[in-house]
Amino acid sequence: MAKVSKNARVNRGSKDGGKNYVKVVLSEKDPKTGSYVYKEKIVHKDNLQAALKGEL
């Protein structure tokens, strides 16, 4: 019999719709050092295109 993880048994996101959110990671180049900085945001699926354009 296969083992079922605790996370599979828990019904996450059913109350507040957590499955409607996505994590967006944007990379920006720092003008002073030239290195890349990564910024993470959690946005709603409907606002994904605006977040990718940098409007959010």
* Tens of each residue's pLDDT in the chain, 56 residues: 556 666 666 665 556 666 788 898 888 898 899 999 998 988 888 988 888 887 76
CB atoms within 10 A of CB 46: 8
Per-residue confidence (pLDDT) for residue 49, from 0 to 100:
87
Residues 20 and 11: beta-carbon distance below 8 Å: no
Instruction: Specify the pLDDT at position 12.
Output: 58
Residue 8, CA distances (Å) to 3, 11, 12, 23, 38 in order: 10, 7, 9, 20, 30
pLDDT (0 to 100) of residue 4: 62
Question: Which residue in this structure is represented by tokens 């409007």?
Answer: 55
Rounded distance, CA 45 to CA 52, Å?
11
Q: What is the pTM of this model?
A: 0.56
